[in-house]
Amino acid sequence: MLLLQKQQEIKAKLASEEFRDFVQYTKPDYEINWHHDLLMNYLQQFAEGKIKKLMVFMPPQHGKSELTSRRLPAYLLGRNPKLKIIGCSYSSDLATSFNRDVQRIIDDQKYSEIFPDTTLNGAGAKAKGNYLRNSDMFEIVEHRGFYKSIGVGGSLTGTPADIGIIDDPVKDAIEAESITYRSRVWDWFTQVFMTRLHNDSQIIVTQTRWNLDDLSGRILSRMNHDKSWTILSLPAICEGATSIHDVRQPGEALWESKHSLKRLMEIKVANPRAFQALYQQDPKPFEGGLVFPKWNSISLEQFNQVKALDGYGMDFGFNDPTVLLHVKLDKPNKRIYINELLYKSNMTSKDILNELIKLNISKGSKIVADNARPEIIKDLRSIFNVKPSEKGANSIYYGILRILEYSLYITANSHNTIREIGAYRYKEDKDGNFTNEVVTSEDHSMDSLRYIVRELTDTQKGVLAFG
Q: In this structure, is residue 239 part of a structural domain?
A: yes
User: pLDDT, tens digit, for every residue of 75-92?
Assistant: 999 999 999 999 999 999
Indicate whether 328 and 197 sit together in one domain: no
User: Any idea what the Cα angle at residue 189 is, between residues 184 and 194, rounded to 5°?
Assistant: 155
Q: What is the pLDDT of residue 124?
A: 45
Residue 443 to residue 237: CA distance in whole angstroms: 34
- 3-state SS assignment for residue 283: coil
Residue 212 to residue 277: CA distance in whole angstroms: 9
**Residue type present at position 384:** F
How many domains does the chain divide into? 2
User: pLDDT, tens digit, for every residue of 150-207?
Assistant: 999 999 888 889 999 999 998 887 787 777 788 889 899 999 999 999 999 999 999 9
pLDDT above 50 (res 464): no
As a whole number, mean pLDDT of residues 117-133 equals 74
Q: DSSP of 168-196, one letter per residue?
A: ----SHHHHT-HHHHHHHHHHIIIIIGGG
Indicate whether 251 and 337 sit together in one domain: no
Q: What is the CATH number of the domain that holds 87?
A: 3.40.50.300
The answer to whether 425 and 438 have CB atoms below 8 angstroms apart is yes
Indicate whether 379 and 406 sit together in one domain: yes
- E strand segments, 273-385: 296-298, 309-315, 322-330, 335-344, 367-369
Q: In this structure, is residue 50 part of a structural domain?
A: yes
Q: In this structure, is residue 283 part of a structural domain?
A: no
Residue 98 to residue 137: CA distance in whole angstroms: 11
Indicate whether 360 and 246 sit together in one domain: no
pLDDT above 70 (res 391): yes
| pLDDT band, residue 317 (cuts 50/70/90) | confident
Q: In this structure, is residue 287 part of a structural domain?
A: no
Q: What is the pLDDT of residue 438?
A: 84
Q: What is the pLDDT of residue 125?
A: 46
Q: In this structure, is residue 379 part of a structural domain?
A: yes
Q: In this structure, is residue 285 part of a structural domain?
A: no
Indicate whether 371 and 261 sit together in one domain: no
Q: In this structure, is residue 467 part of a structural domain?
A: no
Where does a domain end: 278, 304, 323?
A: 278
pLDDT above 60 (res 142): yes
Indicate whether 249 and 396 sit together in one domain: no
Residue 426 to residue 438: CA distance in whole angstroms: 4
Where does a domain end: 278, 305, 325?
A: 278
Cβ neighbours for 164, distance < 8 A, ≥ 6 positions apart = 85, 86, 88, 193, 196, 197, 201, 202, 203, 204
pLDDT above 60 (res 403): yes
Closest CA to 78 of 38, 49, 36, 120: 120
Closest CA to 399 of 390, 388, 386: 390
Indicate whether 194 and 317 sit together in one domain: no
User: pLDDT, tens digit, for every residue of 255-270?
Assistant: 999 999 999 998 888 7
* Domain, as residue range, for 424: 296-459
Where does a domain end: 278, 309, 332?
A: 278
The answer to whether 40 and 72 have CB atoms below 8 angstroms apart is no
Residue 47 to residue 49: CA distance in whole angstroms: 5
pLDDT more than 70, % of the chain: 93
Q: What is the CATH number of the domain that holds 398?
A: 3.30.420.280
Q: What is the pLDDT of residue 243?
A: 67
Closest CA to 283 of 212, 224, 331, 348: 212
Q: Are strands 434-438 and 426-428 parallel, antiparallel or unpaired?
A: antiparallel
Residue 73 to residue 79: CA distance in whole angstroms: 10
Closest CA to 453 of 409, 402, 411: 402
- 3-state SS assignment for residue 146: strand
Indicate whether 314 and 273 sit together in one domain: no
Indicate whether 272 and 312 sit together in one domain: no
Q: In this structure, is residue 229 part of a structural domain?
A: yes
Cβ neighbours for 29, distance < 8 A, ≥ 6 positions apart = none
Residue 38 to residue 163: CA distance in whole angstroms: 21
